[in-house]
A = this chain, B = another copy of it.
Amino acid sequence: MTQELFARYSFLLDRTARKVKQYAQQQFKTGEFDVTVDQWLVLKNLSENELLSQTELANLVFKDNPTLTRIIDLLCKKNYVERVPHPQDRRSFQLHLTESGISKVSELRPKILEIREKAWENLTGKDFEEFKRILDTIYQNLDGQVSE
């Protein structure tokens, strides 16, 4: 039945997403990158957008606030990120990379691009377009359905 078949997309998606994260994390560990995959995502976005608040950054990386708070906690402990009190709004912080954070990003960026390429062997630019279109459609279909 078609319905049964389509229902398998969730399984394939979950399985592949986990494999991708697992592979990257394994490479991160081998290379002693000193950050996790999610911590890298946060660092990378901070390096491209300085002085974000936590909420802004959370929206950018599609993580919820509690999750981001905890990731930032870890990055602060590792001394890659600092929370600077917002000059006008005492509720919020401006996030910025430390010296150490900046050099970590430039050290890791090329290595991570290399790791990411592995997944895309045997696939074309056109495949990527299809992939992106389908994933975005699924996302849109389900977004706005959850508490919005």
Residue of B nearest to A140 (CB): B122
A118 and B141 contacting across the interface, CB-CB below 8 Å: yes
Does A130 interact with chain B (Cβ within 8 Å)?
yes
Contact of A10 among B3, B24, B122, B134 (CB under 8 A): B24
Give every chain B residue within 8 A of A121 (Cβ-Cβ).
Answer: 141
Most chain B beta-carbon neighbours within 10 Å: one of A3, A10, A18 = A10
Q: Give CA–CA (A39, B145) in the complex, Å.
A: 22
A79 adjacent to chain B (CB < 8 Å) = no
B113 touches A141 (CB 8 A): no
Q: Which residues of A line the B interface, CB within 8 A?
A: 2-24, 26, 41, 62, 112-113, 116-123, 125, 127-128, 130-132, 134-139, 141-143, 145-147
When distances are taken between beta carbons in the complex, the residues of chain B under 8 Å from A118 are 141-142, 145
B6 with A120: CB separation less than 8 A: yes
Please, could you name 8 A-B residue pairs with CB atoms under 8 Å apart, sorted by A?
A5-B128, A6-B117, A9-B120, A10-B119, A16-B136, A120-B141, A130-B130, A130-B134
The answer for the CA separation of A105 and B14 in the assembled complex, in Å, is: 21
Complex: A13 Cα to B120 Cα, angstroms: 13
Q: Residue on B with the closest CB to A127?
A: B134
Given contacts A9-B128, A121-B141, 17 further A-B contacts (CB under 8 A): A4-B113, A6-B120, A10-B116, A12-B132, A13-B16, A13-B135, A14-B17, A15-B62, A17-B18, A18-B62, A19-B142, A19-B146, A20-B138, A23-B145, A23-B146, A26-B146, A120-B138
